[in-house]
């Protein structure tokens, strides 16, 4: 088979963007997608209808010239709008510069745009309803199943890229022949999508330019705006225990729970009972595996390699960054596929692990810390240190969301910065009392100069 052929398994967000990049490099791309064509049928209900797109995801879209079209799909969110129990609102900005916002975007619209763009290249074929059920690496054969007819068949391949999400069949096939580790850590919490529709005047019922959060300690509600002026709302809660999906299992308990814990959201959720009982409960897990590749034959990217919990809004962004890195390696090692795959694996794995850790930590931040005065003081101080020492200090959230330095570096700098923030605030009550000469000494002694967008 020609060295110009590449097979992708999965035409989700990462697979369809990867198809665009590969097609632009002149490859003939065959994509096998388990589901039917979402452009013809609505298949996304109840499964993260919208997502936060941030700088790391925007950059690869810019590289292939898609951002002009994507821009029209975006609703900027400037910060977290925190709803307390009394219904008071407090906007906590994500950044301190005008451009430091994240964007709500419809999963289906973005996926559709990437699939359309891939097919428009002329050298991409997406085969829907075709599920990968295995890979025979010895004979270079993909094992596929037609989901409509039930027929199983084999197809030869030269190189296969697994973009088949968190339950990846390609990952299982790679790890059947060579595995250092391959496991999913269950979070013990799940999610349910609900909806705040547009108001009777056709407008948003809450501030549209924010990610709304109802933090309640062990659980939380969040809401992201949609272009049709509705909000997609997600309830995150433990699987079992007193307040849990297991326990809140009838209409009375559900209504009592919402009335007590999210009173200001209740009038905005007219279909609460229907959404809660009819929408699927999504489970949350972190997938960690190594290796992400097999010889010069197979590579994993996106959730197939590193499914993360959604609390940093980075799963797709990280997957898009994988695609951009793969493209850079294809350019660098033209034709040496063992090197292309092994380098992509080596460069991305530490970053996949870092964002997985930070996403779990951010669950605590979102559901709990955003209500804590000490946390808010440290956040305010982090902004102040960024202003005073921009060559050294950048809040961790900003490094992850607004810049492109490797996640692993954002994580390690973030821990040093947290120590500095803890030290400077340990015996004071407000940011005005910070000793900035001590701050300068600490920042310059402990942190190397910053390169935000290498």
Ligand X SMILES: Cc1cc2nc3c(=O)[nH]c(=O)nc-3n(C[C@H](O)[C@H](O)[C@H](O)COP(=O)(O)OP(=O)(O)OC[C@H]3O[C@@H](n4cnc5c(N)ncnc54)[C@H](O)[C@@H]3O)c2cc1C
Question: What is the Cα–Cα distance from 291 to 306, expressed in whole angstroms?
Answer: 11
Question: What is the Cα–Cα distance from 6 to 29, expressed in whole angstroms?
Answer: 5
Q: Residue 319 or residue 447: which is nearer to ligand X going by CB?
A: 319
* Nearest approach, Cβ of residue 388 and ligand X (Å): 31
* Nearest approach, Cβ of residue 451 and ligand X (Å): 23
* Nearest approach, Cβ of residue 64 and ligand X (Å): 16
Q: How does DSSP assign 180-244, residue by residue?
A: SEEEEEEEEEEEEEEEE---TTSS-SS-SSSEEEEE-SS-EEEEEE-TTS-EEEEEEEESSSSSS
* Nearest approach, Cβ of residue 259 and ligand X (Å): 25
Q: Residue 129 or residue 140: which is nearer to ligand X going by CB?
A: 129
Taking each helix axis from N to C end, the angle separating 107-120 and 13-24, rounded to the nearest 10 degrees, works out to: 20
Measuring CA to CA, which residue among 176, 103, 105, 74 is closest to residue 135?
Answer: 176
Residue 438 Ramachandran class (φ > 0 left, ψ -120 to 50 alpha, else beta): alpha
In terms of Cβ atoms closer than 10 Å to its own Cβ (0-12, 13-18, 19+), residue 177 is: middle
* Nearest approach, Cβ of residue 266 and ligand X (Å): 22
Q: Which helix (H) or strand (E) holds 373?
A: helix 373-388
Instruction: Write out the two tokens for 5.
Output: 């052929």
Q: Residue 208 or residue 315: which is nearer to ligand X going by CB?
A: 315
* Nearest approach, Cβ of residue 31 and ligand X (Å): 9
Whether the CB-CB separation of 408 and 353 falls below 8 Å is answered with yes
Q: Residue 34 or residue 297: which is nearer to ligand X going by CB?
A: 34
* Nearest approach, Cβ of residue 390 and ligand X (Å): 26
Taking each helix axis from N to C end, the angle separating 315-332 and 55-63, rounded to the nearest 10 degrees, works out to: 40
Q: Residue 311 or residue 393: which is nearer to ligand X going by CB?
A: 311
How many Cβ atoms are within 10 Å of 450's Cβ, its own excluded?
A: 18
Cα dihedral sign, 95-318-11-2: positive
* Nearest approach, Cβ of residue 418 and ligand X (Å): 23
* Nearest approach, Cβ of residue 384 and ligand X (Å): 28
Question: What is the Cα–Cα distance from 403 to 25, expressed in whole angstroms?
Answer: 26
* Nearest approach, Cβ of residue 282 and ligand X (Å): 6
Q: Residue 114 or residue 377: which is nearer to ligand X going by CB?
A: 114
Question: What is the Cα–Cα distance from 127 to 124, expressed in whole angstroms?
Answer: 10
Q: Residue 11 or residue 394: which is nearer to ligand X going by CB?
A: 11
* Nearest approach, Cβ of residue 444 and ligand X (Å): 34
Instruction: Write out the two tokens for 304.
Output: 């197939």
Question: What is the Cα–Cα distance from 207 to 67, expressed in whole angstroms?
Answer: 25
Whether the CB-CB separation of 130 and 34 falls below 8 Å is answered with yes
C-beta nearest to ligand X: residue: 12
Interacting residues toward ligand X by CB under 6 A: 9-15, 32-35, 48, 51-52, 131-132, 163-165, 169, 191, 234, 282, 302-304, 310, 313-317, 319
Q: Give me the residues paired with residue 202 across strands.
A: none
Q: Residue 318 or residue 421: which is nearer to ligand X going by CB?
A: 318
How many Cβ atoms are within 10 Å of 326's Cβ, its own excluded?
A: 23
**Which residue do the tokens 């390690």 mark?**
412
Measuring CA to CA, which residue among 345, 66, 310 is closest to residue 178?
Answer: 345
* Nearest approach, Cβ of residue 452 and ligand X (Å): 19
Whether the CB-CB separation of 410 and 394 falls below 8 Å is answered with no
Q: Residue 52 or residue 443: which is nearer to ligand X going by CB?
A: 52
Q: Residue 279 or residue 342: which is nearer to ligand X going by CB?
A: 279
Q: Residue 233 or residue 304: which is nearer to ligand X going by CB?
A: 304
Residue count of the chain: 454
Q: Residue 15 or residue 414: which is nearer to ligand X going by CB?
A: 15
């Amino acid at each position: 088979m020609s060295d110009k052929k590449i097979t992708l398994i999965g035409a989700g967000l990462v697979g369809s963007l990867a198809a665009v990049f590969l097609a632009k490099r002149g490859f003939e791309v065959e994509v096998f997608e388990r589901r039917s064509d979402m452009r013809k049928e609505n298949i996304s209900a109840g499964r993260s209808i919208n997502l936060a797109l941030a700088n790391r995801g925007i950059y690869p879209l810019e590289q292939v010239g898609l951002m002009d079209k994507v821009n029209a799909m975006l609703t900027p969110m400037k910060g977290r709008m925190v709803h307390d129990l009394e219904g008071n609102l407090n906007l906590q900005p994500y950044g301190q510069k005008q451009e430091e916002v994240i964007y709500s975007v419809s999963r289906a619209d973005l996926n559709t745009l990437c699939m359309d763009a891939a097919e428009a290249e002329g050298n991409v074929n997406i085969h829907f309803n075709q599920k990968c059920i295995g890979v025979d690496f010895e004979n270079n054969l993909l094992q596929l199943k037609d989901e409509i007819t039930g027929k199983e068949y084999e197809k030869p391949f030269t190189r296969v890229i697994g973009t088949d999400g968190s339950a990846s069949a390609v990952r299982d096939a790679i790890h059947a022949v060579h595995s250092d580790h391959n496991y999913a850590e269950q979070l013990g919490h799940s999610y349910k999508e609900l909806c705040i529709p547009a108001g009777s005047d056709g407008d948003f019922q809450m501030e549209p330019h924010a990610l709304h959060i109802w933090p309640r300690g062990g659980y939380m509600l969040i809401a992201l705006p949609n272009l049709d002026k509705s909000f997609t709302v997600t309830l995150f809660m433990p699987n079992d225990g007193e307040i849990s999906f297991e326990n809140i299992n009838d209409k009375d308990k559900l209504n009592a729970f919402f009335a007590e814990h999210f009173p200001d959201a209740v009038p905005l959720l007219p279909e609460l009972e229907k959404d809660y009982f009819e929408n699927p409960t999504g489970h949350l897990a972190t997938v960690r595996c190594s290796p992400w590749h097999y010889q010069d034959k197979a590579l994993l990217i996106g959730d197939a390699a590193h499914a993360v919990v959604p609390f940093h809004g980075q799963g797709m962004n990280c997957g898009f960054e994988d695609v951009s890195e793969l493209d850079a390696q294809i350019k660098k090692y033209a034709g040496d596929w063992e090197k292309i795959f092994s380098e992509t694996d080596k460069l991305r794995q530490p970053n996949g692990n870092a964002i997985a850790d930070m996403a779990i930590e951010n669950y605590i931040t979102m559901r709990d810390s955003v209500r804590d005065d000490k946390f808010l003081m440290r956040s305010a101080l982090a902004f102040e240190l960024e202003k005073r020492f921009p060559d050294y200090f950048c809040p961790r959230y900003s490094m992850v969301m607004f810049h492109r330095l490797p996640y692993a570096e954002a994580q390690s700098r973030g821990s040093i910065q947290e120590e500095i923030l803890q030290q400077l605030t340990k015996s004071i009550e407000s940011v005005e009392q910070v000793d900035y000469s001590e701050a300068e000494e600490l920042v310059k002694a402990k942190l190397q100069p910053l390169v935000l967008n290498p």
